[in-house]
A and B are shown apart, each in its own frame.
Chain A
Amino acid sequence: MSVPLGGVVLEATDIEKFFGDNHVLHGVSLAMRKHETVMLIGRSGSGKTTFLRCLNFLEEPTRGSVAMGDLRVEADPLQKKGRSRRGDIRQLRTQTGMVFQEFNLFPHMSVLDNCIDAPINVKGVSKDEAVARAERYLDKVQMLEKRDEFPARLSGGQKQRVAIARALSMEPEVLLFDEPTSALDPELIGEVIVVMEQLAHEGSTMIVVSHEMGFAREAADRVLYLEGGLVVEEGPPEQVLDDPKEEATKLFLKRFLSEGAKTPTEAGPPPPPLGPPAGAPDVPDIPPGGHRGVG
């Protein structure tokens, strides 16, 4: 908003996803421009979280591709490609920072160690530089004085702000937020939203899955409404939220706002638990043959 948009930094093309025979994403594309903030909205099971998780291959897309700069990773549902693709995925992940609904801070590491471990050991940043960066970003989320605390001693809002600092410390091109305020007590949501709005205004490139419509109006350049694994409507927030063209969007917003009037923070359908959206078959934790996911 305050920083003019640059060129395309991330391009997801025709992402499809099946969980078993459940077709969750029917081909979603998104081109992110530098400094842009895009918000994905939709009800539970619309595929918005799955789409976000496909962008850094926490979820393996069934079809489609994700490109960042010269790097382009194609879906590989039959797992025919090997090591080099795994390297590409890791590279992609170092360029995308992710903030989770449940924070997922490493409980056995201090706040500072949470923020410097990956920069040092994954990106190869020197320790001094990593600490300097981490302190800069912890200061940005106003958690610097807690640098030596362990996560268990922090409130949910504080944990999430540290998680944001951890993601920022990798200095990624794009930040991915997966319902970052859905696990928070209502009174703690504000402190996280403030940080996110600040990041958006300073020109971070952000993709946000959330039900916080206030954030969309304040900070998003574009809003995408997803339903049934497709982008039904997309445009600037004032258009999609205040003057939607599609009946589906109108219906969603109407329901959302009427529920939202009662309990603003729990508005809309309840967010799905981490992992596949509602309706997707449960994926067993770890099958006897090995870990789930990709490495």
Chain B
Amino acid sequence: MTATTDPIVAQIAAADTRRRLSFRVTFVLTWVVLLGAFIVWLLTLPENSVTGRKPFDPAFIIEKLPFLLAGVPMTIMVSVASIVLAVVLALLGALGRLSRSAIVYGAASLYVSVVRGTPLIVQILFVFWAVPQIIPELSRVPAPIMGVVALAFNYGAYMTEIFRAGIQAVPEGQREAALALGMSDRRIMSRIVLPQAVRIVTPAIGNEFIAMIKDSALVSWIGVQELLWRARIEGSANFRSLEMYLTAALIYWILTMVLSLAQDRLEKRMARGDR
């Protein structure tokens, strides 16, 4: 490389920097303006002619915010527990979907098909209300645990396909090299294929976790006292659903944005350390 003294080089670089900066500033301003306009509009709504109340009361949000935030740990715990259990189910499901045994393949495929073909809310209600009809002891199991089981059962099926694709994305040559060294099928899977597949699917698991944060709201329907449950209780009791659902939505949004950011960082780090 030769040192260039042509001033145009520095000028181009400076213009590039300016353009990037101006894009960022405008981007942030757009968000601030759009969101600000929405809030101002809410605050300036006229009083309801029947009740004589303002439709939007920020003081109520401030009053109930601690109560809502107290549901966030439950939301996160349910999501984390569900995703961990789902990963285990997905791994088993993926191995089943790649099995040479028609029975194992059939069972894994049935699991995936049933779960993917039915609504998540039905699965949650079924686990909580229908299954205890068969096994009465389960009616004593706390709702959060039943919720975790249902969410994991559902996500496990979707993630089965992610894991299967990840396993299949490991080049065939890896398997062949391991076979040529005399390794057993089991060892090839655990020592050669899976470690590489896990790296491939890690970003996808991150996406699933973010989706799980949002879908965990559905367990409010079986009385798990997480974020949405708290918003619904306070909102309907005080006829302040607008304030409560808006706040709940905002908290979910912040949670998922923070997680997306963390995931970006993680992916970049993994890409850098890629070997």
Contact = CB atoms under 8 A, between A and B. Distances in A.
B176 A289 contact: no
A291 B181 contact: no
Contacts of B172: 274-275, 285, 292
A93 B181 contact: yes
Contacts of A291: 98, 100, 175, 185
Contact of B181 (A118, A285, A295): A118
Tell me what chain B mostly uses at the interface: helix, strand, loop, or mixed.
helix
A122 B99 CA distance: 23
A100 B176 contact: yes
A176 B182 CA distance: 14
A170 interface: yes
B275 A150 contact: yes
Interface in A211-259: none
Contacts of A288: 97, 105
Contacts of A117: 181, 191
Contact of B179 (A107, A170, A290, A293): A293
Contacts of B105: 288-290
A291 B98 CA distance: 7
B164 to A, nearest CB: 9
Nearest to B185: A295
A63 B62 CA distance: 80
Contacts of B29: none
A265 B100 CA distance: 41
A156 to B, nearest CB: 14
Contacts of B179: 58, 93, 293-295
B181 A100 contact: no
Nearest to A117: B191
Contacts of B102: 289
Nearest to A94: B182
A90 interface: yes
Interface residues of A, number: 41
B192 A98 contact: no
A104 B176 contact: yes
A295 B184 contact: yes
Interface in A11-70: 56, 58
Contacts of B187: 121-122
Contacts of B173: 100, 102, 104, 274
A96 interface: yes
Contacts of B274: 152
Contacts of B98: 286, 290-291
Interface string B178-195: 111111110100011001
Contact of A108 (B178, B180, B195): B195
Contact of B199 (A108, A150, A285, A286): A108
Contacts of A151: 275
Contact of A293 (B97, B175, B181): B175
Contacts of A98: 177, 180
Contacts of A91: 182
A256 to B, nearest CB: 27
Contacts of A90: 182-184
B101 to A, nearest CB: 8
B171 to A, nearest CB: 8
Contacts of A121: 183, 187, 191
A286 to B, nearest CB: 6
A93 B182 contact: yes
A58 B195 CA distance: 22
B241 interface: no
B275 A153 contact: yes
B184 A56 contact: no
Contacts of A274: 172-173, 176
Interface string B123-154: 00000000000000000000000000000000
A280 B187 CA distance: 30
Interface in B1-57: none
8 contacts: A58-B180, A93-B181, A106-B174, A118-B181, A274-B172, A290-B105, A293-B176, A293-B179
Nearest first, the 10 closest Cβ-Cβ pairs linking A and B are A290-B100, A104-B177, A118-B181, A94-B182, A98-B180, A150-B275, A104-B173, A295-B185, A152-B275, A93-B182
